[in-house]
Structure 1
Amino acid sequence: MSEYQDYEFLAVDRPLTEAEIAQVRALATRARITSTSFVNEYHWG
């Protein structure tokens, strides 16, 4: 059995600063991160 997970977040109140993007990047190195979005996909199995 295989599994697929998709996590997506959008900033609704304000864009992330460069420092905040760096903090998020430290937690999720494979994610696509911009000042207004975060997208991470997992495939395994």
Structure 2
Amino acid sequence: MDVRALSSYVFSLGTDVYKKAETISLRFLYYLRENPSSSRYSAASG
């Protein structure tokens, strides 16, 4: 395999992993931000 092709493959792989990790962390932060408010509302109403 060509070194240039290998480096571009590794780079694209790393970018894909980074994007996936970023998406997961953003979803997790959104969940953490939304969850306390919903539990507080349910505790207040119930």
With the shorter chain as reference, the TM-score category is under 0.3
User: TM-score w.r.t. structure 1 length?
Assistant: 0.27
User: TM-score w.r.t. structure 2 length?
Assistant: 0.27
Structure with the greater alpha carbon radius of gyration: 2
Greater relative contact order (Cα 8 A, min sep 6): structure 1 or 2?
1
Higher relative helix content: 2
